[in-house]
Amino acid sequence: MRYSGFNTASVQRNLVISLIVSAAISNSLIIFSGEDRVVFSNWTINAAAAIALGISLLITWRQKLGGLYGKTYAAFTIGLALWFVAEMLWTYYELGQGIEEPFPSLADAFWLAGYGPFAYHLFMTFRFFGKVSKKHLFIASLGAAIFLAQLTGIILSTAESTDTMALAISIAYPVLDAVLIVPAIAVLASLWRGRLTFTPWVLLSSAILITAVADSGFAYYTAAGLDGMWVWDLFYNTSYMMAAATLFWHNRFFVFDEKRVKKVWQQENR
Amino acid sequence: MNINRVLWSCAEDALQSLGRSAMYTVVWQINKMDVDTTPDNFDIQRFALALQSLFGEGSETIMNLIYRNLCRQLEVKAEPDPALPAIERINKVLEARKMNH
């Protein structure tokens, strides 16, 4: 079918290039910052989280709270706000208080609370779009369950720490990530062929997968008492950037912009 | 009663379930695919194809909503046959209506 609307292919290309370049630059700041790494990693991640939260707030303000997208994107914004508070608290503990690995801490309460709104966003979207793909949901659930079972086994077998609370929180993150991955992949399977829906769902699913890898790595390093935790910051940073790219796409293609529509109309009728 | 008008109102209601802003932008993009969305000339077949191009298999959810809205408006019983695509069920309803007239 002929399509003469927004150039989705060009936006997709530019978005991916921008994402790769900005991830490369910001992750390089973390990698090559040497002794100042703790400062750079904190503020790089905070900046990425703030950008994602900013776009999300803009979407919520522009599209209001009506309909599926109104509700699910408001929930996404709440989730990002909670995670942003958690990031700021982590920075405060690390840079302000000088605590090397502030884990577990109050920040974890905000991170864990953020999973609720994110789950709402994904499950509501799955309930709307995903009912045609029960097979995909089953495959995704099975994959997540296997992933989770293996991870829990590894963590428990290497744990040197006797802090049950820290261990429980370490395990909670990958478990909750697995819970998010299931509907994300199921929705992606449903919207895979859509010109408007492919890019944001590939990005969002990848962001959740990257977060899951980072959380699993973090949990493993914490339990095993390993050094070099900063490696996982690269993953968290990239994940926030991918979430921001997803939100950018939604803002561009799913939120009505009268001015832009007028501009396209004027260009066509010149 | 103009059936295209009825179908358009059903489609509009279904798209509104995404939210008003999303509805406007989807309708605009569907227009850009040469689908006439003026109520009297609305073509549900072309609309279904355009929607599938934008949402992939996810479009089936919206088409199902249109089917249910149509059954409610025409006061016919909706057939819950998940094996049949919503557009075919809509066509069945439209054919049955033609035969009854």
pLDDT tens per residue, range A166-194: 878 888 888 888 888 888 888 888 888 99
Q: What is the pTM of this model?
A: 0.92
Give the model's confidence band at A164: pLDDT under 50 very low, under 70 low, under 90 confident, else very high: confident
Distance of alpha carbon A182 from alpha carbon A216, whole angstroms? 16
DSSP notation for A243-270: HHHHHHHHHHHTS--HHHHHHHHHHHT-
Q: What is the DSSP letter of B98?
A: H
| Chain B hits for A62, Cβ within 8 Å | 21
Of the candidates A1, A67, A131, the beta carbon closest to that of B18 is on: A67
- Axis-axis angle for helices A106-129, A164-191 (nearest 10): 20
For the record, the structure tokens of A80 come out as 């990002």
CA distance A105 to chain B (A): 38
- Of A42, A46, A107, A120, nearest to A79 (Cα)? A120
- Of A249, A119, B28, nearest to B20 (Cα)? B28
Give the model's confidence band at B48: pLDDT under 50 very low, under 70 low, under 90 confident, else very high: very high
Give the model's confidence band at A134: pLDDT under 50 very low, under 70 low, under 90 confident, else very high: low
CATH number of A15-256: 1.20.1070
Contact B53 A128 (CB under 8 A): no
Contact A145, A181 (CB under 8 A): no
Per-residue pLDDT tens digits for A38-82: 999 999 999 999 999 999 999 999 999 999 999 999 999 999 999
For the record, the structure tokens of B63 come out as 């088409």
Contact B56 A194 (CB under 8 A): yes
Overall average pLDDT of the A115-134 stretch: 85
Q: Where are the domains of chain A?
A: 15-256
pLDDT computed for residue A219 by the predictor: 83
Contact A1 B19 (CB under 8 A): no
Residue B33 contacts A where some CB pair is shorter than 8 Å: yes
Alpha helix stretches (DSSP H) within chain A: 8-31, 37-63, 67-91, 106-129, 134-158, 164-191, 198-224, 231-253, 258-268
Per-residue pLDDT tens digits for A231-244: 999 999 999 999 99
**What is the dihedral sign for C-alpha A261, A262, A265, A270?**
negative
pLDDT computed for residue A162 by the predictor: 65
Contact B17 A68 (CB under 8 A): yes
Residues 67-86 of B with CB under 8 A from A: none
Of the candidates A67, A190, A253, the beta carbon closest to that of B16 is on: A67
Give the model's confidence band at A161: pLDDT under 50 very low, under 70 low, under 90 confident, else very high: low
Instruction: Give B16 or A226, the one with higher predicted confidence.
Output: B16
CA distance A111 to chain B (A): 28
CA distance A26 to chain B (A): 33
Contact B33 A2 (CB under 8 A): yes
A124 Cβ contact partners less than 8 Å away, ≥ 6 residues apart? A68, A71, A72, A75
